[in-house]
């Protein structure tokens, strides 16, 4: 087998940095190069996006009509749970780590990530973690079916496969923590001379803050699932009332992780959009330092709002008021961001290439998701919205036309830098318009379903919900299919496109990555670049 031969060939070289890279599988297994690892993360997350997406298609197909048609309720529950776990931990988070790997060193003038070997390890844990997680679907007791929140006592009623879920979550956590340590070490230690903190591109800033959130909350999730594991298999009673525990405590611990987690998925999106809008508006980002402080404020607030997920569980009035107002407070720094993006576009010389289209759609549709979030924050009315499709509509608006659109915007934006070729602008635009329209057909009706009282995570529904569910499912099928266009555009760009990309790629692009040739060479910034006021985006800011 080629793996064994390459293993024996591989000597523990101290400085294999500039040697010829191995070929084939070995190149990807042993690579410590930030661009290779970035590619691995991005390809992996795209694969997971399609696996998680197929599960969503099963869910929407079952919900196409009232009654049970296609799948058993138990399997439906496994689909909703697995869809969420795969999309959160397998698609969105690794995709952002992929962007971080590719772009951070190039944006701050570093030769590579600070801890390249750990970088390799943090990626290669993931395929094993998700193989374990997905394998539970083929076990006798089936996959996890209690929702991605894994609330006890329901999650403890699962069978033996639950141990696989817990260990998969542990491995994902270890991977994210190692990735985050790498990001922080890179940003704090490897910036080129002159790249002061307040000159860093916003994507770098948002990732720095995201990385701190990750190393603080992923261990809390690991602790929570460990307690579930010992409650399930070793007779402890952390969450078992009979033994003096409290299932509500799990919800507190889970959401202490869970709320920062949703910002982990959206903060890098804020960063990417803050790179793209100035480029295509041909104006510097409006309110750069306000953006940095707003990001930090959102990250801080994310730690003190967790119980807004638990208003229906019951809490003292003062508690409900505190969590309600603290949650509403998050709208202030988020509003600052939205206003700054709009102000950046104001009177700009705008053009509407695919990355810009996705970025503008992000601003509009993420704001809709943010406003429905404000509605959910109101403790008194949350009692009606809780666990309905209104919640489903809310978080899908912030995650799909939010995080996922920002990922696509970023992919189109930097694809020419990665591959050296231009993608097909026509097909990119077709992908955008089909996605942007179908995503609204998919999720907007769910607001009404939720307000009318349709509960989430149930495979059947009352007939009065039939029409909106059918519309939503049709939107879902179109949205799912339109992502195949995305794959087509990428494959075409990598292998077929003959249109060479220039170094700057986009007329208005500023920043160190655009001073490098396209495609970016395997090793970049071996000697630190000289920071030139005209090439970096935020040179005008305070030193």
Partner 1 sequence: MSQQKKKLSNASLARRLALISVAMFGFGFAMWPLYNVFCDLTGLGGRGVKIAEGADGVGGSDRQVRIRFDATVNSSLPWDFEAVDKAMTVTLGEMSEAMYMAANPTDKPLAGHAIFNVTPPEASLYFVKTECFCFTQQVLQAKEAREMPVYYFIQPDLPASIKEITLSYTFYPDKKANLALTESAGK
Active site residues: 83, 112, 148, 175-176, 259, 261, 263, 274, 308-309, 334, 337, 456
Taking CB under 8 A as the binding criterion, the range among 103-111, 210-218, 386-394, 437-445 that sits at the site for partner 1 is: 210-218
Give the list of residues 6+ apart from residue 513 with CB closer than 8 angstroms, or none: 103, 106, 107, 414, 417, 520
Q: Which is nearer to partner 1, 256 or 366 (CB)?
A: 256
Instruction: Find the binder of partner 1 among 193, 335, 517, 521 (CB under 8 A).
Output: 193
**List 40, 168, 181, 406, residue binding partner 1 (CB under 8 A):** 181
Is 248 an interacting residue with respect to partner 1 (CB under 8 A)?
A: yes
In the complex with partner 1, the residue whose CB is nearer, 200 or 392, is 200
Q: Which stretch binds partner 1 (CB under 8 A): 104-112, 174-182, 511-519, 526-534?
A: 174-182
Q: What is the CB-side half-sphere exposure of residue 16 using CA atoms within 13 A?
A: 14
Distance of alpha carbon 100 from alpha carbon 182, whole angstroms:
10
Characterize 401-415 residue by residue with b for buried, 16 or more Cβ atoms within 10 angstroms of its Cβ, and e for exposed: bbbbbbbbbbbbbbb
With CB under 8 A as the contact rule, the residue among 177, 276, 320, 360 that binds partner 1 is 177
| 37 touching partner 1, by CB under 8 A | no
Asked whether position 528 contacts partner 1 by CB under 8 A, the answer is no
Q: What binding mask, one character per residue, do residues 81-120 give for partner 1 by CB under 8 A, x or -? A: ---------------------------------xx--x--
Q: Which of 14, 242, 463, 534 binds partner 1 (CB under 8 A)?
A: 242
Residue number with CB closer to partner 1 (12 or 314): 314
Nearer to partner 1, 212 or 339 (CB): 212
| Residues ≥6 apart with Cβ < 8 Å to 498 | 421
Applying CB under 8 A, which part among 188-196, 291-299, 391-399, 448-456 lies near partner 1?
188-196
Backbone angles phi and psi of 360, in degrees to 5: -65, -40
Name the one residue in this structure whose structure tokens are 């407070």.
329
The contact mask relative to partner 1 for 400-439 (x = CB under 8 A, - = no) is ----------------------------------------
What are the b/e assignments for 61-70, b being 16+ CB within 10 Å? ebbbbeeeee
Residue 157 CB: number of other CB atoms within 10 A? 11
Burial of 328 (0-12, 13-18, 19+ CB in 10 A): middle
What is the closest distance, in whole angstroms, from the C-beta atom of residue 192 to partner 1 in the complex? Answer: 11
- Residue 13 is a binding residue for partner 1 (CB under 8 A): no
The smaller minimum CB distance to partner 1, of residues 145 and 181, is found at: 181
Long-range contacts at 119-124 (CB < 8 A, ≥ 24 apart): 119/32, 119/34, 119/37, 119/178, 119/179, 119/182, 120/30, 120/31, 120/32, 120/37, 121/178, 122/97, 122/174, 122/175, 122/176, 122/178, 122/179, 122/182, 123/37, 123/40, 123/41, 123/44, 123/175, 124/29
Q: Which residues 138-167 are close enough to bind partner 1 by CB under 8 A?
A: none
Q: Which is nearer to partner 1, 191 or 396 (CB)?
A: 191
Q: Are 536 and 511 in contact (CB under 8 A)?
A: yes
Does residue 249 belong to the site contacting partner 1 (CB under 8 A)?
A: yes
Report 254-283 residues binding partner 1 (CB under 8 A): 256
Tokens 């690892």: give the residue.
Answer: 37
Residue 453 three-state SS: coil
Q: Looking at 227, 301, 305, 501, which residue binds partner 1 (CB under 8 A)? A: 227
Told to check if 314 binds partner 1 by CB under 8 A, we report: yes
Name the site residues for partner 1 (rule: CB under 8 A).
114-115, 118, 177, 180-182, 184-185, 188-189, 193, 215-224, 226-227, 238, 241-242, 246, 248-249, 252-253, 256, 314-316
């Amino acid at each position: 087998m080629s793996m064994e031969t390459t293993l024996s060939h591989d000597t523990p070289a101290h400085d294999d940095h500039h040697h010829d890279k191995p070929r084939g599988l070995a190149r990807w297994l042993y690579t410590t190069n930030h661009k290779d690892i970035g590619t691995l993360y991005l390809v992996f997350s795209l694969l997971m996006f399609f696996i998680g997406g197929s599960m969503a298609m099963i869910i929407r197909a079952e919900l196409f009509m009232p009654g049970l048609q296609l799948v058993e309720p138990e399997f439906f529950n496994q689909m909703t749970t697995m869809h969420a776990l795969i999309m959160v931990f397998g698609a969105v988070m690794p995709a952002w780590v992929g962007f971080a790997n590719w772009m951070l060193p190039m944006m701050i003038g570093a030769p590579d990530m600070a801890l390249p070997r750990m970088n390799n390890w943090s990626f290669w844990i993931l395929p094993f973690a998700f193989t374990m997680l997905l394998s539970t679907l083929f076990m006798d007791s089936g996959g996890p079916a209690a929702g991605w929140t894994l609330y006890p006592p329901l999650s403890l009623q699962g069978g033996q496969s639950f141990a696989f879920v817990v260990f998969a979550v542990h491995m994902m956590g270890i991977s994210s923590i190692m990735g985050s340590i790498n990001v922080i070490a890179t940003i704090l230690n490897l910036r080129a001379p002159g790249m002061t903190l307040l000159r860093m591109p916003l994507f770098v800033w948002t990732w720095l803050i995201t990385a701190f959130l990750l190393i603080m909350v992923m261990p809390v999730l690991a602790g929570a699932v460990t307690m579930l594991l010992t409650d399930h298999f070793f007779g402890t009673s952390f969450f078992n009332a009979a033994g003096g525990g409290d299932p509500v405590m799990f919800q507190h611990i889970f959401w202490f992780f869970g709320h920062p987690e949703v910002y982990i998925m959206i903060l890098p999106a804020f960063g990417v959009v803050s790179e793209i809008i100035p480029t295509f508006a041909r104006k510097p980002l409006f309110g750069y330092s306000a953006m940095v402080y707003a990001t930090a404020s959102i990250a801080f607030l994310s730690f003190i709002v967790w119980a807004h997920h638990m208003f229906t569980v019951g809490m003292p009035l003062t508690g409900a008021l505190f969590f309600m107002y603290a949650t509403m407070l998050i709208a202030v720094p988020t509003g600052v961001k939205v206003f700054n993006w709009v102000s950046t576009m104001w009177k700009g010389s705008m053009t509407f290439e695919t990355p810009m289209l996705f970025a503008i759609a992000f601003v509009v549709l993420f704001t809709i998701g943010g406003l429905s979030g404000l509605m959910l924050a109101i403790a008194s009315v949350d009692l009606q919205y809780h666990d309905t499709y209104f919640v489903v509509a809310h978080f899908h608006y912030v995650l799909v036309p939010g995080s996922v659109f920002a990922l696509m915007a970023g992919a189109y934006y930097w694809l020419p830098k990665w591959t050296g070729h231009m993608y097909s602008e026509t097909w990119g635009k077709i992908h955008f318009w089909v996605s942007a329209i179908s995503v609204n057909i998919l999720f907007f009706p769910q607001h009404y379903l939720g307000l009318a009282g349709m509960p989430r995570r149930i495979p059947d529904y009352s007939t009065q919900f039939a029409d909106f569910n059918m519309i939503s499912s049709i939107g879902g099928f179109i949205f799912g299919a339109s992502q195949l266009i995305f794959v087509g555009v990428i494959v075409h760009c990598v292998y077929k496109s003959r249109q060479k990309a220039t170094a700057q790629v986009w007329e208005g692009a500023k920043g160190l990555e655009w001073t490098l040739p396209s495609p970016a060479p395997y090793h970049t910034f071996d000697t630190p670049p000289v920071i030139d006021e005209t090439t970096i985006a935020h040179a005008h800011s305070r030193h």
